[in-house]
A and B are shown apart, each in its own frame.
Chain A
Amino acid sequence: MKPQEYQKLVQENSAPRPLLKNVLWAFFVGGLICTIGQVVLNIATKTENTKAEASAVTLAVMILIGTILTAFGVYDELAEKGGAGAAVPITGFANTMTSAAMEFRREGILLGMGAKMFVIAGPVIVFGILSGFIVTLIKVLILKLL
């Protein structure tokens, strides 16, 4: 059998991913995390002086929650069901950092944990900043032209 024929055979005989189920789970898991974030923000708005301070406190709390759930081995189970719903919020970002830190801790604090902590989070930061820059550039250009 030729490779192309076989590739076609595999395609025809692969089960499709359960898209609807995955989307619904992502919606609910992502929604739950964001609802918790909103509750924290509402509380922080009362305790903090400015809006900026309140959102900073909220982010810190959500990162803490993500980190603790990762440390106890819960977050990956959450992501198994929730997919992008668990990966996209800031708790997911905390999970990428913490899981890498835990994984590479056994190669030492400096060259293991320290060096490899950003293995998965690194690209997110790099392309997050890059896309932020591009969007800002577009905004400025449009405002100048108008």
Chain B
Amino acid sequence: MSNRLGSQTLSFSQGPRLLSSYTIVGPMEGKGPHALDFDEILPDDVLHQKTPEKTERVMLEMAIEKTLQRNDTKIEDIHFLIAGDLLNQITSSAFAASTYTAPFLGIYGACSTFAQAIGLAAILLQGDFAGNVLIGTASHYQTAERQFRYPIELNVQHIGTNHHTVTGAGVALLGFADQGPKVTYATFGKVVDMGLKDAQDMGSAMAPAAFSTIKQHLKDTGRGLEDYDMVLTGDLGKQGRKMLRLLFSKEGFSGLERLQDGGSQIYGDGQKTGAGGSGAACIAVMGLGYGLNMLKSGKAQRILIVATGALLSALTVLQGESIPCVAHAVALEA
């Protein structure tokens, strides 16, 4: 097991790389401070589709096609398509995959799906089981609202810790070539449940999972937060980001200024989105948009992407269960 490092981290000596990627976001995300980091901003969140579920699927398909085009790769050359979303039975991903001939691995990790997919793709590449792997996630505000919350037009008053699901899709092609950032490590997280039950504050619930994974990653690799130019968590939101910083400072970690959070940063202050963005697409578009741009422009040499997922369902919330959470980390180096 020479590819293992410490107790949870995998190291990829073969140097699988992110060859190309594509990010699509809805109009609201396009008005946020990271608008320039995304490849495409949709004029509306409908795309001439009859249902938002179809729109979500179409966004994923659009991102898949653009990612392939960018690297001049045919879908026939893709050995695996790994994708996931937030809907029951991950239908958006499965339905999108039905358009293509590539073998499909559907995964669910809620909003942690993105890093889980990159980690799994790197394993397949490192193990010589594949030469080209396509990964992708998508989410849509309206499909997530109905899946986990209420009808869109219902008289609900949102509170400061509520998240706004990101409408968008992010897709990346992983393989071996002399371009794009290397995936050097992946640390798959353990499920952490601190007994929090408030589904209106998922940031606080997810922060300990992010802390557990990052801490383990640093221990396994012998690195500190300072060794990364940026540690980008997925969608902790403003409340979760605060809790994560508290957890780190309580244990005496330094380099807290390296911590950034996709969910907290994707929307502007005036956009009335509570704690910030969430959803399977949040870290996908922020990681592949903002994160990769930092590497490309040379502003960062090494980043850690930590996708965080709250593994609850509408059913478990009604049944009064607490919220188990997970976080997966992947290290990208220019």
- Which A residues are within 8 Å of any B CB, using their own CB? 1, 3-4, 6-7, 9-10, 13-15, 17, 22, 70-71, 73, 75-76, 78-83, 86-87, 92, 95-96, 98-100, 102-104, 106, 119-120
Contacts and interface: CB of A to CB of B under 8 A. Distances in A.
A73 to B, nearest CB: 6
Interface string B236-260: 0001001100110010000000000
Interface string B144-166: 00100011111111111100000
A79 B157 contact: yes
A100 B194 contact: no
A73 B158 contact: no
Given A6-B194, A7-B196, A80-B158, A70 B153 contact: yes
Nearest to A93: B155
A95 B146 contact: no
Given A6-B208, A14-B201, A103 B239 contact: no
Given A83-B157, A103-B146, A1 B208 contact: yes
Given A10-B243, A14-B239, A99 B151 contact: yes
A66 B272 CA distance: 24
Contacts of A100: 151, 154
B113 to A, nearest CB: 25
A14 B157 CA distance: 18
B270 interface: no
B50 interface: yes
Contacts of A99: 150-155
Contact of B247 (A1, A76, A87, A96): A1
Interface in B144-201: 146, 150-161, 193-196, 201
Contacts of B159: 17
Nearest to B203: A10
B51 interface: yes
Contacts of B239: 14
Nearest to B208: A6
A111 to B, nearest CB: 15
B163 to A, nearest CB: 15
Contacts of A96: 154-155
Interface residues of B, number: 29
Interface in B214-264: 239, 242-243, 246-247, 250
Nearest to A87: B155
Contacts of B246: 9, 13
Contacts of B161: 14
Given A82-B157, A102-B152, 17 more contacts: A1-B208, A1-B250, A3-B194, A10-B196, A14-B239, A76-B154, A76-B156, A78-B155, A79-B157, A83-B157, A95-B154, A99-B150, A99-B155, A100-B154, A102-B153, A120-B150, A120-B154
Contacts, number: 84
Contacts of A70: 153
Contacts of A76: 152-156
A104 B146 CA distance: 9
A75 B155 CA distance: 7
Contacts of B193: 3
A6 B195 CA distance: 9
B157 A22 contact: yes
A15 B274 CA distance: 12
Contacts of A13: 242-243, 246
Contacts of B92: none
A70 B158 CA distance: 17
Q: Which of A6, A70, A92, A119 has the most CB of B within 10 A?
A: A6
Contacts of A15: 160
Q: Which of A71, A76, A79, A106 has the most CB of B within 10 A?
A: A76
B213 interface: no
B51 A106 contact: yes
Contacts of A73: 153
Given A7-B196, A14-B201, A75 B153 contact: yes
Contact of A92 (B50, B146, B155): B155
Nearest to B211: A1
A99 B154 CA distance: 5
A87 B150 CA distance: 14
Nearest to B161: A14
